[in-house]
Each structure stands twice: as C-alpha cells, then as structure tokens.
Chains A and B, each alone.
Chain A
C-alpha cells in the first residue's frame, strides 16, 4: 500500500521517463500503434457486425409468423382460443376466407368480387390464423403442435432464411475470433520488439540505475507504462476509425431503399452496447500493450 502511495507521489518521474522512452522509440512507436489499431479496428467492426446481424435476426424473430390454414368449413374464430392458449404464442389474428379472398382479388386488380366468385363456383380459400411466435427457436415446435390440432390443414412458416443468417453469423464470429487471436499475437510481438529496442537504447542508463540502487520495479515500470500507452493510443485511434466508418455507412444508408434502411436502423444500439465497445477496445488494447512490454522487460529484469 505504501508502495502504491510512493509511486503516486513520484508519478512525475514515471511520466517523464515514459514520455522520454517513447521519444527514443521513434518510428517503432508507429509500427506498434498501427498494429494495435488494425487489430482493434477489425475487432470492433466484427463485434458491431455481429450485433447488427443479431438485431436483424431479432426483428425477424419478433415478426415471425406462422400461417395456419384450416380445413374447409372450420371457422377461424372457433380455433382462435385454443391456439392462443399455447405457451409459444404471443398473438393470434384470425383471417376469414372472405377477408382473404377480397384482399387477394384486390391485389390481383380485380374489382368484381362477385363475378370472380361465381366463375370459380364460390370462394376457393379457407379460413386462416396468423400466429405470432415468441422466438425464432420456438417456431418448429409450435408448428408441429399446430399441425396436430384438429381442423388444421396446413402450417407454413419461413425459418430457413433466418437460420441461414444465424449460421452465417456464427461462422463470422469464429472467423473473426481466429483473426483477432492471430493479430493479438502480432501486436504483442511488435510491442515487445519496440519496448526491447527502447530498453537497449537506454542500457547505459539502466546500468547506472542498477548501480545506484534503483529497484527493478522502479527501473522497468516506465517501460511497462510505455507498452500500456501504445495499447491505449491504438485503442483510441481504432475507436475513432470505427465511429467514422459507422457515420459513413449511416450516410450511405440514407440513400438506400427503404427495406435496407428498415433492416439496419430499426433498433439503434442499446446504451450498454455503446459503452461496451469502447471499453472492450480499451481493455484489449491495454492487455496487448501490457503483455508485450512485460515479455520485453522480463528477460532483462530476471537476472
């Protein structure tokens, strides 16, 4: 505890040495910072993409409807309470065959309902229930249950596309995890080299420090702080880039069709997500910086 206090009261030393060290690093600093930036940029973008796809999926899930076509002669209103009682169901809208018929004819551009009906010897459609389901995962089970109900002729739902997107999302997550692991290794290696060069450049000073009784922590803490700084700067730049790209995409989207706008901007990022991303970037940046400099310093300090 007293050590921590001592460090705080003498933080001007640490700050000065850290800045001095970074000056000695020269162009290597840029190599280190840009590696961290690339890593964190890709990390941030893949996290955002994953969130975006999740949101789109969630929209599909909420609006996912199962259409239940009833046997001829069965009234939609009769079956509605039974279906509404199922646990997976949020809402049930009955569509009578008359309603459906007139809608269909309207869509086809025919205004003479009576004429068309007579031509076909009556309304060819059946009553239908539009069932809203709680989540995408429950759709297949519910469909099975509905199919088993007496008076139900056919059950239709569209879950294949949603499942495909979900699989794609998972695949992308694995891919980006792999990429981030490899890039983290690269960033740690570059920071490690940078800090080692700085240590080399200051070997005379370190030798004198050791001879006059500076403790190992005192000598090497500035180097570890340098690594941390590189990570933090990388995180800040990456965060700036991600924000920029986001805004650019948003401005592009405004010129796009309504459907795409609907898909991408229906529900904005939650505030948790808005805070989580910069914190995650900072956390990953700091860890990479710390690990890189710790590895660099360890081989000098352990003697």
Chain B
C-alpha cells in the first residue's frame, strides 16, 4: 500500500492549532499516515475481529475498506482513533503509537482525525451550525476562529442554506453531509468514514463520496469503509477487503 502522491497534506482552511509538533521525521520519501503492524483484536467475548493485520496508508491516499457486516471494518477504524485497543500489534497514526496514549494525549491525537459515522451522531437539539461549531468549541477554538471556519465548511458540503435547521428537519443525505462538515471543520489530516453511505440511496451516496474525494484532492487522507460493492466499482481508488479477520488486497 504505497501509492505515491504529490499532494501536500495541507488543507484550504489553514492549519489546525495542534498539528505543528505532530509531524514525525520521515525516513521514507512518502510520509506514512497510518501504519498497522501485526494487529490482532479479540474482544472480551471471544469474537476475533482482526488477526495479524498489516496495513500502511500514505498521506493523501484514498482507501476503501470493504467486507461483509461484522467482518471487522468498524473495529479497524476504532483502533485508529483509540476507541479500542489492539490485543496485539502496533497502531501508528501520524507517527504516534496509539496504544500507550491516555487521556489528553489521545484527545490531542483525535484532533488530527475526523470521523464520519453511519448513524451521523448529530446532537438533536442543536442546529446544523451549532453541531458543526460544537467540534470547534470542544477543541477550544476561539469564537473568532469558529466564525471564520463555519460558512466555508458548510458551503463545501452544500448546506449553507440549512445552517439554522435542526437535524430532524433534514434528509438522511443532508444529515450525513452535516456529519462530514463536522468531521472536517477542525481541518484534520486524516478522515475516517465508517459506512458513510450505509443509510443512503445511490444518489446521496454518490454525493457523499464526491465530497470525500474533494477533501482527498486537497490533501486529506481518507479511509472509507463500505459493503457497497457498486460504489467501490465506480471509483478507481485502492481497495482492501476484510474477511474473517484477515486483510486482503483487492485493488491498487
């Protein structure tokens, strides 16, 4: 998985406040965004989600992870943002080993990762604008900076006219686009999308993938899990598949 890209990892929104010190000195020509080495994850109930998985994603890459439901796709992403710890093996994100990170260190690392969920995880009693701004407040941005970032981000996902709507007033596709806006408003270097099209019709799915591709074009490393083979076939991005805990290379 060493697709070389000439895209720089900067984004159009400017640098996030905590990104300066996180870039490790790279020994390779292409910088590694994500590195999994012999990662095994066995849940407490005995379910073997991942078995000896190796995966390297370079910066600026767009990667599809496919596989049937329950095959371990979500587990893979959870390992990347520290929601789950591997039973064995190393998980390295932007040069930081995830496993030993605790508390605030993990929080700081998560600011470099944007996450899009299948169920959107929007806050019901807050408007679109507040839902997106919420991330920035949570990360401690100043009011001025938050105002500077909000509208460009909403425009990017095409929701500038829905800023004051509540989540329940939006369609599924619109809600998912809010969730993408929320994931990227903090200008993360890595975007993880867990089944972002799982609840959407083909048109909305296409739209979501297009937005993710646009983000990738400005340098964001994107990892998308999906079980929608059709969606994967329409694109030319690298694809890996997880089956029974093992990772297989399909394309790229």
A interface residues (Cβ-Cβ under 8 A, vs B): 6, 9-10, 12-13, 204-205, 207-219
Shortest distance between the CB of A9 and any CB in chain B (Å): 7
Q: B109 near A: Cβ within 8 Å?
A: yes
Q: Is the CB of B107 within 8 A of A214?
A: yes
Shortest distance between the CB of B16 and any CB in chain A (Å): 10
Known contacts A208-B134, A213-B110: A218-B121 contact under CB 8 Å: no
Q: Is the CB of B123 within 8 A of A205?
A: yes
Residue in A closest to B105 when the chains form the complex, CB atoms:
A215
Cα A79 to Cα B129 in complex, Å, equals 94
Residues of B within 8 A of A6 (CB): 140
Q: Is the CB of B121 within 8 A of A213?
A: no
Q: Which of B107, B123, B124 contacts A213 (CB 8 A)?
A: B107
Shortest distance between the CB of A258 and any CB in chain B (Å): 64
Residues of A within 8 A of B134 (CB): 205, 208-209
Cα A277 to Cα B108 in complex, Å, equals 45
Cα A153 to Cα B124 in complex, Å, equals 92
Q: Is the CB of B111 within 8 A of A204?
A: no
Please encode chain B, from 92 to 136, with 1 for each CB lying within 8 Å of some chain A CB and 0 for all others. Answer: 000000000001100111110101000001011000000000110
Q: Is the CB of A216 within 8 A of B103?
A: yes
Q: B139 near A: Cβ within 8 Å?
A: yes
Name 10 interchain pairs, CB-CB below 8 A, sorted by A.
A9-B142, A10-B142, A207-B121, A208-B134, A210-B110, A211-B115, A212-B135, A212-B138, A213-B186, A215-B140
Shortest distance between the CB of B32 and any CB in chain A (Å): 21
Known contacts A213-B107, A213-B108: A204-B121 contact under CB 8 Å: yes
Q: Is the CB of A212 within 8 A of B186?
A: yes
Residues of A within 8 A of B81 (CB): 211
Cα A13 to Cα B140 in complex, Å, equals 8
Q: Is the CB of A214 within 8 A of B138?
A: yes
Q: B143 near A: Cβ within 8 Å?
A: yes
Residues of A within 8 A of B135 (CB): 208, 212
Known contacts A6-B140, A9-B142, A218-B140: A212-B111 contact under CB 8 Å: yes
Shortest distance between the CB of B72 and any CB in chain A (Å): 20
Going nearest first, the 5 A-B pairs with the smallest beta carbon separation are A213-B110, A214-B138, A213-B111, A209-B138, A212-B135
Cα A208 to Cα B123 in complex, Å, equals 8
Residues of A within 8 A of B111 (CB): 212-213
| Interface residues on chain B, number (Cβ under 8 Å) | 24
Q: Is the CB of A216 within 8 A of B104?
A: yes
Q: Is the CB of B110 within 8 A of A215?
A: no
Residues of B within 8 A of A207 (CB): 121
Residues of A within 8 A of B113 (CB): 213
Residue in B closest to A214 when the chains form the complex, CB atoms:
B138
Residue in A closest to B115 when the chains form the complex, CB atoms:
A211
Please encode chain B, from 207 to 223, with 1 for each CB lying within 8 Å of some chain A CB and 0 for all others. Answer: 00000000000000000
Cα A49 to Cα B113 in complex, Å, equals 61
Cα A131 to Cα B48 in complex, Å, equals 95
Q: Is the CB of B142 within 8 A of A212?
A: no
Please encode chain B, from 61 to 93, with 1 for each CB lying within 8 Å of some chain A CB and 0 for all others. Answer: 000000000000000000001010000000000
Residue in A closest to B110 when the chains form the complex, CB atoms:
A213
Shortest distance between the CB of B249 and any CB in chain A (Å): 29
Contact residues of B between 114 and 173, Cβ < 8 Å to A: 115, 121, 123-124, 134-135, 137-140, 142-143
Residues of A within 8 A of B83 (CB): 211
Residues of B within 8 A of A12 (CB): 143
Known contacts A212-B110, A213-B109, A213-B111: A13-B137 contact under CB 8 Å: yes
Residues of A within 8 A of B123 (CB): 204-205, 208
Q: Is the CB of B140 within 8 A of A212?
A: no
Q: Is the CB of A216 within 8 A of B121?
A: no
Cα A215 to Cα B113 in complex, Å, equals 15
Residues of A within 8 A of B121 (CB): 204, 207-208, 211
Residue in B closest to A301 when the chains form the complex, CB atoms:
B103
Shortest distance between the CB of B187 and any CB in chain A (Å): 12
Residue in A closest to B137 when the chains form the complex, CB atoms:
A13
Cα A214 to Cα B182 in complex, Å, equals 14
Please encode chain B, from 175 to 190, with 1 for each CB lying within 8 Å of some chain A CB and 0 for all others. Answer: 0000000100010000
Q: Is the CB of A219 within 8 A of B142?
A: no
Cα A210 to Cα B107 in complex, Å, equals 7
Q: Apart from A213-B138, A214-B140, what are 6 other A-B pairs with CB-CB below 8 Å? A: A212-B138, A212-B186, A213-B109, A213-B113, A213-B139, A215-B140
Cα A13 to Cα B137 in complex, Å, equals 7
Shortest distance between the CB of A214 and any CB in chain B (Å): 4
Residue in A closest to B126 when the chains form the complex, CB atoms:
A205
Shortest distance between the CB of B131 and any CB in chain A (Å): 9
Residue in B closest to A206 when the chains form the complex, CB atoms:
B138
